[in-house]
Amino acid sequence: MAITIAKCHSVTKVDWSRIDVVLLDMDGTLLDLSFDNQFWLETIPAEFARRNALTVAEAKAQLTPKFQAQVGKLNWYCIDYWSQVLGFSVAELKRSESHGVNWRPEAEEFLKYLKASHCDAVLITNAHPETLAIKLERVNLAPWLDKIFTSHEFRAPKESPLFWDRLIARYPFDPKRALFIDDSEPVLAAARRFGIEHVVTLRQPDSTGPVRQTTGHPAIHHFSEIFAGLPGYD
């Protein structure tokens, strides 16, 4: 195996000679998930409450079942869908709050290492294209990436086998020589079912949240744990 797994599911080594492409999630992997958690759990309910003469607690009570019904579906990530449901522009609100978008620790350095290596670095995100554009305005991801794909292009989220079938049709690669890094356990499980040989998750996607003590897939806290074996960069 290219990745050695300890009992706690920590990654102890990546054999980079067995990797040709690194598939990367965005939110919670390259970017700190604290922005998204704050936005959807606090900012959205507060705005919904303000517009509908509700308390924030009342707004959360109304919104929670609506959110839960879409988890794992493409609508969960679609700000056009949520703008219709909520009655205001989620994109405009997100852009006004985008100062909170930030790198995860060591993520930019990891991309620099990948750029200097033989590996392609490919972003695959469930983020809506407009959300992606807003975040790319704040954090300069694009220069370090060889390709960028959103699940909306494929009309299926990463949790779905359709996403993976459509991704490999658009961007052919060998799943056995691919490393996929994502903070979502259901997404990683879907990738493994598709045949992605090497997967890694993050122990702290949200810098303001707790560190995960157990994970269902090999995990790292910081990217420096897997730098070994990658060439240096200028």
Instruction: Give the domain ranges of the chain.
Output: 3-32+103-226, 34-99
Q: Which tokens belong to 23?
A: 């598939």
> For the chain, which residues score pLDDT lower than 70?
1-12, 234
Give me the residues paired with residue 198 across strands.
Answer: 179
Quote the distance between the C-alpha of residue 23 and its chain's center: 10
Count of residues making up the chain: 234
pLDDT at 8: 47
In this structure, the number of other CB atoms found within 10 A of the CB of residue 20 comes to 15
pTM above 0.85, yes or no: yes
pLDDT at 12: 59
Q: Which two tokens stand for residue 38?
A: 């704050």
CA–CA distance, 213 with 223 (Å, rounded to integer): 17
User: What architecture (CATH level 2) is domain 3-32+103-226?
Assistant: 3-Layer(aba) Sandwich (3.40)
Using one digit for the tens of pLDDT, what is the confidence trace for 26-81?
Answer: 999 999 999 999 999 999 999 999 999 999 999 999 999 999 999 999 999 999 99
Q: Please give the pLDDT value at position 13.
A: 80
Residue 11's pLDDT is 64
Please report the pLDDT score of residue 232 as a whole number: 83
Question: In a 3-state reduction of DSSP, which class is residue 217?
Answer: coil
Predicted confidence at residue 5, as pLDDT, reads 39
Residue 170's pLDDT is 97
In angstroms, the CA 128 to CA 131 distance is 5
